[in-house]
Structure 1
């Protein structure tokens, strides 16, 4: 039987890596500050530099400070002990921004609709929006040259408050940024990232459109208008068009840092996000040592927060502090996963790595097959998953299938007994009890059909009692269902006046001065 040969891990010079990580966060701050005053504009812009008085400090930007919460989660748990449920708990404790999908996720988690249901339920307007792909840099920096790993963590991150293209967009940016640590060719980076999202998703369509416009010699303004038209049915503040604007900035900027940022921001829409991501990508490619001082000097190296509670967050004060903490976490992740590219004092050696990066089969087989309708529960002797056939938000008499599976159970040839405690008028077919036989693969599954009865409250939690055949003590879990239409959400039209008031409030808190928009 042939022995599987595993290639030795790639090696990255730690000093080069530090420069690229610093460039990532410095570029993030620059682009976010540049785009902040224009956020929400729907017309083409014509800026060429900062338009606000910066006073030597960056604008506060949720694109960056949300990632400080994930930084703490990694430091307190270790990267490979994280899952979407743990990230959801950090979200509940530290995320204060009430906007759109951020607030929806908190409301869902509070109701028992934990990740990934928190990004799927009651979130039709914002499930494909921008809140996730803007926070991908931490995974790229923790997993440089490992876009499959970056994509894995991007999925766990994004599903907290998104589903569908809201998740695919973060997988795209995380994979591109991770690969940028070891690959300089921009078109190749785009191919690497596209290989890790569905070919026909809206994000991929926008990216391919931006790339084809550039290849055909179409000017960037016309390309921008085509992206707007392509995504018109989704509306504004949605991921596909804005990721397309990022790609426009990178391609049409031709490697010029300021030109690239300004093109992305001049496309309009979520301008602080597009500018910040273009800045982060170019910061990785060039390193901070390669960024123009004229863009760095007006904002310095501070980190200003806008959407997180800093109590016990231990937020880094500067991009230098943030970078050093990430480098330590990356080195610890190497101990958890010996196959990751290693940081060394010697020369960078990625022989054979870059050739493998365009193969996205691992992500497609293991990450893209995950469902936003699948809720998991950790048990002492395995993991139980409930996958909703349609939606946990349902109505009386509305039938749906539930797939129940037990995995990671090390006890072969055992029976798992499921006993459901149903409210009066609720039905489960073929009956309120099931048996799962766990064999040599340590997993078993069954599909049942639920018919809800009346809802005595907006949320109902079905009690499921589980017994492993050789254990006396049972386990209990609560499976959430909600009455469709019983959750009301405030709708805020994102007008110029609302945007201006929001940014003035943030600016006052951080001692900045924004001009009238």
Structure 2
């Protein structure tokens, strides 16, 4: 727990939960990276007079606009219409991870992660690598075959989006956070897919005690292989920022380097996320806004950026336009958790974070 007082730890963990949900909601209407490029997202924001972006995405113009169709869930997650969070797998897995730690403890096994999915998560609310792993589990396969058998998505972003709870429950201990995230990730992922989860968990854990976001990123990098494509891409992003390259130019350079991997792969999304965190300069609103404007898997990146930024600043410092519309409620497909209070989930997380051993 480091040097954090209990009240500060509680505020930071609630900040992580609130930031994750708010960032997820911000990115959800434009979650389709092959269509919603950074240029198209900014065109939509100009069309709706929403640049600079300081609140949830605006609803579409009354007359409509060809080429700017939002995801079907948009009426529940645009400004003026948010009334509690809408359901999303980025939040389902966070809740599932919390329940796993509560029931199995920190010594959980990868097999127990799989059992938890089968017991608590509907099959049709899984996607890409998670759906393959779920099917493999149901067919009787065991890890690590659940991640490798008939799975073309092994390095996609799914394991990374499951990692935050391991960081929140390991405040100031990135090594432990990465270890927990790895045990979860190998159920469905390999290579950079696993490294992405380890990096994200370590980043969240480091944010509790690091003096700034750049320091947290540097610490998190120590938890993944230095020669991995993920680590090289994060370092490249940090170098561009340090050299004074403008955010949009950095994104273009990173896209040239990693764009061929596709919009749901871990590596290009880690680049967008790292850029959002660095160029956000510690400001919660700017961080999640730049991250979502960076495109690719917008709701996942917005969620992780919001989690890190929320831990860094604490719940009390998150501007009310993000937190108040959530009404302290979260929708979830996880059995037994739909309609949970965000504050209660945070309190349960604090209890786990203060356990020793």
Describe the superposition over 1:397-429 as per-residue Cα deviations: whole angstroms up to 9, x where unpaired.
Answer: xxxxxxxxxxxxxxxxxxxxxxxxxxxxxxxxx
Describe the superposition over 1:407-464 as per-residue Cα deviations: whole angstroms up to 9, x where unpaired.
Answer: xxxxxxxxxxxxxxxxxxxxxxxxxxxxxxxxxxxxxxxxxxxxxxxxxxxxxxxxxx
2:173 aligned with 1:137, yes or no? no
Q: Secondary structure of the residue that 1:161 maps to in structure 2?
A: coil
Match of 1:383 in 2: none
CA contact (8 A) 2:97 2:162 kept: no
CA 1:188–1:55 in structure 2 vs 1: closer, same or farther (change >3 Å)? closer
Describe the superposition over 1:256-307 as per-residue Cα deviations: whole angstroms up to 9, x where unpaired.
Answer: 21111111111111000111111110100100011111222233321112xx
Report the alpha carbon displacement of residue 225 of structure 1 after superposing the two structures with TM: 1.7
- Which of 141, 144, 157 is matched with 1:116 structurally? 144
Match of 2:15 in 1: 23
CA contact (8 A) 2:196 2:230 kept: yes
Match of 2:129 in 1: 101
Q: Secondary structure of the residue that 2:340 maps to in structure 1?
A: coil
Q: What is the correspondence of 1:162-173 to structure 2 with a 5 Å cutoff? A: 162-173=189-200
2:271 and 2:173 map into 1 onto residues whose CA distance is 23
Q: What is the correspondence of 1:429-508 to structure 2 with a 5 Å cutoff? A: none
CA contact (8 A) 1:316 1:322 kept: no
- Which of 49, 60, 66 is matched with 2:93 structurally? 66
1:98 and 1:298 map into 2 onto residues whose CA distance is 27
2:111 aligned with 1:85, yes or no? yes
CA contact (8 A) 1:36 1:59 kept: no
2:346 aligned with 1:323, yes or no? yes
Describe the superposition over 1:39-80 as per-residue Cα deviations: whole angstroms up to 9, x where unpaired.
Answer: 013411224131225332223221121121222222222222
- Normalised by the length of structure 2, the TM-score is 0.85
1:208 and 1:143 map into 2 onto residues whose CA distance is 24
1:211 and 1:172 map into 2 onto residues whose CA distance is 15
Q: Which structure 2 residue ranges, 5 or more long, are not aligned?
A: 46-52, 58-77
| Higher RCO (CA < 8 A, seq sep 6+) | 2
- Which of 300, 316, 319 is matched with 1:292 structurally? 319
Report the alpha carbon displacement of residue 314 of structure 1 after superposing the two structures with TM: 4.6
More strand by share: 1
CA contact (8 A) 1:54 1:299 kept: no
CA contact (8 A) 2:282 2:312 kept: no
Q: Secondary structure of the residue that 2:142 maps to in structure 1?
A: coil
- Which of 179, 185, 197 is matched with 2:206 structurally? 179
Higher Cα radius of gyration: 1
Q: Which structure 1 residue ranges, 5 or more long, are not aligned?
A: 1-8, 338-517
**Alignment size in residue pairs:** 320
1:265 and 1:19 map into 2 onto residues whose CA distance is 24
CA 1:285–1:235 in structure 2 vs 1: closer, same or farther (change >3 Å)? same
1:20 and 1:137 map into 2 onto residues whose CA distance is 13
CA contact (8 A) 2:13 2:311 kept: yes
Report the alpha carbon displacement of residue 190 of structure 1 after superposing the two structures with TM: 1.1
Report the alpha carbon displacement of residue 110 of structure 1 after superposing the two structures with TM: 2.2
Query: Over the residues paired in the alignment, what is the CA RMSD in angstroms?
Result: 1.7
1:275 and 1:195 map into 2 onto residues whose CA distance is 23
2:290 and 2:4 map into 1 onto residues whose CA distance is 32
2:25 aligned with 1:14, yes or no? no
- Which of 160, 176, 184 is matched with 2:187 structurally? 160
- Normalised by the length of structure 1, the TM-score is 0.60
Report the alpha carbon displacement of residue 316 of structure 1 after superposing the two structures with TM: 6.7
2:199 and 2:334 map into 1 onto residues whose CA distance is 28
More helix by share: 2
2:56 aligned with 1:50, yes or no? yes
CA contact (8 A) 2:261 2:268 kept: no
Match of 2:66 in 1: none
2:235 aligned with 1:208, yes or no? yes
1:182 and 1:315 map into 2 onto residues whose CA distance is 32
Report the alpha carbon displacement of residue 117 of structure 1 after superposing the two structures with TM: 2.1
Report the alpha carbon displacement of residue 134 of structure 1 after superposing the two structures with TM: 1.3
CA contact (8 A) 1:105 1:160 kept: yes
